[in-house]
Amino acid sequence: MIVGRYEKKAGNPFPISVSSIYRYAAAGLFQLSQKLLIRKGKKLKNNVQETRGKMPQLKKIHERQAPRSEIGHWEVDTVIGKAHKSQILTLTERMSRFTIIQKLSLKTAKEAAKEIIFLLKSLPKKLVKSITADRGKVFHMWIEVEKGLEIPFYFSDPGAPGQRGTNENTNGRIRRTYPKGTDFSKLTQKEIMEFLLNFNQVPRKVLNFNTPFEILMNYLPCST
């Protein structure tokens, strides 16, 4: 309302955002009641910092020690389905490009954490050394993942998808089979397994024309 009135008045050449208004108000530059400082159920504190949607004490990607030549470092994301009502979790190992996907039925951070642990727990420890995600709310229970897998969980910078380039590229490839508008809730487990079987056995130029499956198999313990 305030922004709209400001922009409508003549002689206001400088744009102003809603966030700026709340910051000024919290700093005491406007005479507004405390009721007006309530935004979506959250009060802005006197230090002007808004913590909604933020995750304190997270590990930043710049702290990650994960050379491309080392196996075991995963990147995770979600691919959104039709009308934002369904989604799949995608996990990609950086060196081999080996990919795992899983439906998320509840679309909650608790479910995402549970599935990440379930999907990676069965792999040998040397194949699971770290995970990197963006700062989406679906990964807010990252501490549970760290505890469950006993590995560090890192986060890329806001608005920097290129820092998780392997997983971003993988999601683009997945979209060739499941374009925008796909209803992932209708995917069966059999269809997921068939997709992954084919997806992970496509030769990649970046892998010297090996497949992600072949690369990963080289690091699995040999059975006798």
Predicted pLDDT at 89: 97
164, 75 contact by CB (below 8 A): yes
Q: Do 210 and 136 fall into the same domain? A: yes
Poorest-pLDDT segment among 14-23, 41-50, 130-139: 41-50
77 in the same domain as 155: yes
| Tens digit of each residue's pLDDT (9 = 90 or more) over 135-169 | 999 999 999 999 999 999 999 999 999 999 999 99
Q: How far apart are CA 100 and CA 90, in angstroms?
A: 6
Whether residue 9 is predicted with pLDDT greater than 70 in this model: the reply is: no
**Which residue has tokens 């313990």?**
221
- Is the same domain home to 8 and 116? no
Q: Which helix (H) or strand (E) holds 44?
A: none
Q: Span 2-24, mean pLDDT?
A: 56
> Are residues 33 and 64 both part of a single domain?
no
On the question of pLDDT at 46 being above 90, the answer is no
Structural domain that includes position 39: 2-43
pLDDT tens sequence across 85-113: 999 999 999 999 999 999 998 889 999 99
Q: Is 79 helix (H, G, I), strand (E, B) or coil?
A: strand
Tokens (6 digits) for 169 = 């590229």
| Residues 144, 35 share a domain | no
Calculate the average pLDDT of the chain: 84
Classify residue 52: in a domain, yes or no. no
Question: Is residue 50 predicted with pLDDT exceeding 50?
Answer: no
Residue 223's pLDDT band (boundaries 50, 70, 90)? Answer: very low
| Shared-domain flag, residues 158 and 194 | yes
Rounded to whole angstroms, how far apart are CA atoms 214 and 42? 51
Q: Cβ distance 127 to 112 under 8 Å?
A: no
Whether the pLDDT of residue 117 is over 60: the answer is yes
Same domain, 75 and 150: yes
Residue 189's contacts (CB-CB under 8 Å, 6 or more residues apart) are none
Mean pLDDT in residue range 37-61: 57
51 falls within a domain: no
Given a cut of 80, whether residue 55 has pLDDT beyond it is no
Distance CA(107)–CA(89), nearest Å, equals: 10
Beta bridge partners of 80: 87
Q: Is the pLDDT of residue 122 over 50?
A: yes
Mean pLDDT, residues 31-41: 47
Confidence of residue 5 (pLDDT cuts 50, 70, 90): low
Split at pLDDT 50, 70, 90, the class of 177 is: very high
pLDDT at 35: 47
Better-scored residue on pLDDT, 194 or 1? 194
Length of the chain as a residue count:
224
User: What total number of domains does the chain contain?
Assistant: 2
Q: Is residue 119 in some structural domain?
A: yes
